Structure 1
Amino acid sequence: MRGMGMMPQQRRKPMAEINVVPYIDVMLVLLVIFMVTAPMLTQGVKVDLPETTSDPIQHDKDVETITVSVDTNGAYYLEVGDQSGEPMTLSDIRSQVAKILSQRANGEVMVRGDEYVDYGVMVRLMAELQAAGATGIGLITDAPGDNP
């Protein structure tokens, strides 16, 4: 007895499509996160931080060491080998170091900074040395117990 006023029931076919709207929402959220964080990752001066238990740096005795010193007042001094000079500006340090490094294969420069020098002064110095062509910047420190 099929009829009796009732409509025959129709079966629904299963839907074979995927709803991609939630995936698009997630993708847009991730895009915003990456757009906000990417500029923060590219700032700064590249510095290889020294370890406290490291051995002293060995250098060639034939090659004169380039050392830039910064005193408590923020004055810069360039020392090449045993020669040290008068206080220099940051732009003079950059041009002198660039001249010296253009004649050498070794682009390492040592930095000696007073304990009380402002951190910003040291960062500006390292940025200028890197722009002058220094491929490695070492920080000179005293061993514990050397200072009275």
Structure 2
Amino acid sequence: MSDAPQPATLERSTSSRRSYTIGELAKVFEVTPRTIRFYEQEGLLTPERRGRNRVYHEKDRVRLKLTLRGKRLGFSLAEIREVIQLYDRAPDGDERQLQRLLDILAEKRLAMQQQLEDIRVLQQELDDVETRCRESLQVLKAARGKR
């Protein structure tokens, strides 16, 4: 048997030390470097500094991925930060993070249900106005035809 690392082990140890430039992360996630710098200013990413260069590690890549996913789901930056910080701080971070995430998801679901209801009401109002406009238009055309 050889003492050489197996491919999966080698890949895991390499990926944990992998670093990224801001340009590489921007390209991978299809965002601008400005977006990444903004998330850094907001405390969601914490790249290492080497002179004037930012060096992002796997932790930053994962945080960026979670941040972008959270934004797509309608999470505020404060909510995203809270979930990430829960995970970073607590020894039971996974459990607390998941529970908070479930709470936020429930809040989002309720808000979306309210928005759906508001949209249904608005659609009905639009339908009613459209119907009245069409009826009024027919009356005007009929009156014009009698002249």
TM class by shorter-chain length? under 0.3
Q: Which structure dedicates a bigger proportion of its chain to strand? A: 1
Higher Cα Rg: structure 1 or 2? Answer: 1
Per chain length, whose mean CA-contact separation is higher, i.e. which structure has more relative contact order (CA < 8 Å, sep 6+)?
Answer: 1
TM-score (norm 1): 0.24
TM-score (norm 2): 0.24
